[in-house]
Amino acid sequence: MEKLTQRVKEGLPGAGAPVFPQSDAGINAFLDKLVAVAHHDEYYVIIDLNGDEQGIPQIIWSSGIQRCLGYDEAEARNVIFTLDLIHEQYRDQFMRFASAAYRILSEFDERLESLQQRYIINLPIRKANGKYVWVKQMSMPLRMDANGRIVHQMNCYTIMSGYKGVKLPFAPRIYDKSSQRRKDLEEKLFHQVIDILARQLTATERNVLKTYIKLSRNGSSDSHHRKSKHSGTNKVVRRDIEEELGLEASTIRTHLTHIKEKAENFFSGVFYDFNEMFETMVKFGVEKHISES
């Protein structure tokens, strides 16, 4: 818990006093509607990101936690307690994504407005009975300081399905106040956390990736004389990597499959082939994180 507490304190830069919106009428109407509807598979919290005197964010309002997860509402007001409910295989990655998203939203190219912009991510949460469920978390700015930084954040959670050991992608999405998906900001998010994917690769998988980068750059440096002898084009094919590393076809095939599974889970998408996969990883800066083999 102590380590988790420190991670939380480091992940959120401080903000000033909440001054926007100037009236709480719209916020109160929104909260009254949430409580009145009270969906059986939804719960809600408001987090004060400035936190207590130790800098730990505080949950200052919640509804539906006991109904959905089985925990006492007062017990679940502790942010560290709620973070500990995230499956341990996902907790650190979630915190990295959340911290990066906060920084990106703080630099939004439109002024943040209460309950307008949205950041969405999936994560597995432990219920009071010990079982995990997949939950979609939608975060929205609620109150901002004089510089437009988020002070109070509204989180809406929807239970999607049982966990059952199935790995779903985080699938982070960012939407502006016009409900337009901002893939440019999502790309910035992946740039800031690509080291997570790099650390998931084994030493041999990193070597396969570095070999692909080397071969692809050799091809582009002299396109007339450095074509792949197996593809007849500048496109790297599996046999190029096999020969460069001196490994069997089945071995390379296995490594490429494992890398593809990890990359698709991280980027929340499907890649047509390993060239598209590696190009995407390089685009987001993975190369500087794979120097240690």
3-state helix/strand/coil string of 165-203: CCCCCCCCEEECCCCCECHHHHHHHHHHHHHHHHHHCCH
Which residue ranges form the domains of the chain, and what is each CATH number?
Answer: 2-195 (3.30.450.20), 201-289 (no CATH)
pLDDT digit string, tens, across residues 88-141: 888 888 888 888 888 888 777 888 899 999 999 998 999 999 999 999 999 999
Is residue 220 predicted with pLDDT exceeding 50? no
pLDDT digit string, tens, across residues 16-57: 888 889 888 999 999 999 888 878 899 999 999 887 777 788
Higher pLDDT, 231 or 143: 143
In this prediction, residue 6 has a pLDDT band, given cuts at 50, 70 and 90, of low
% pLDDT > 70, the chain:
87
% pLDDT > 90, the chain:
51
Q: Provide the pLDDT for residue 4.
A: 58
Distances (CA, A) of 42 to 68, 69, 158: 7, 10, 5
Structure tokens at 137: 């978390």
Higher pLDDT, 91 or 206: 206
Query: What's this model's pTM, rounded to 2 decimal places?
Result: 0.80
In this prediction, residue 9 has a pLDDT band, given cuts at 50, 70 and 90, of low
